[in-house]
Amino acid sequence: MTPPAAPTAVRRAGVIVAAQGVAALVVATVLVVRVIAGADQHVANGLATAGWFVLVGLGVIAAGRALVLGKRWGRGLAVITQLLLLPVTWYLVVGSHQPGFGIPAGVVAVIVLGLLFSPAAVRWAAGGQDDSASPANRGPDSR
């Protein structure tokens, strides 16, 4: 029996999450270009940060692709990514006084969380688990 296809909300969240991963790769590219151009005085820091953005970006792209393909494991990575992004957006708006970057990023994170916690997405995410509270499971537990 094949698992049910991912709901539209999950697939849409997957596209957005994959786009966030691509954005991380773009940031990594900009950091490398800055190091090559000599704008960054600490070459090791610039390259290490770029490497970190590559790792994170590839992981986030993998999570987005998994959601688009209907793989449940991508949901956890996507949710964690959005939850980690929310304090970053707060700092961008309040601490760095960059609301032009922080507000859109925060709105996107909230939209993705809304899509991933929509009723259809939650039903889909729970689809692979047996519901022990179901009336069909009235017999004793045989574990």
- Please report which helix (H) or strand (E) contains residue 83, including its range: helix 73-90
Q: Is 130 a residue whose pLDDT tops 80?
A: no
Distances in Å between the Cα of 111 and the Cα atoms of 23, 105, 132 are: 17, 10, 32
Cα–Cα distance between 106 and 35 in angstroms, integer?
A: 29
pLDDT one-digit tens code per residue, 58-108 = 999 999 999 999 999 999 999 999 999 999 999 999 999 999 999 999 999
**Three-state secondary structure call for residue 22:** helix
Q: What is the pTM of this model?
A: 0.83
The answer to whether residues 44 and 15 touch, using CB atoms and an 8 Å cutoff, is: no
Our CA dihedral for 27, 18, 60, 7, rounded to 10 degrees, sits at 160
Write down the pLDDT at residue 79.
98
Residue 98 near residue 92, CB atoms below 8 Å: yes
Of 21-25, 42-46, 72-76, 95-99, which range is least confident?
42-46
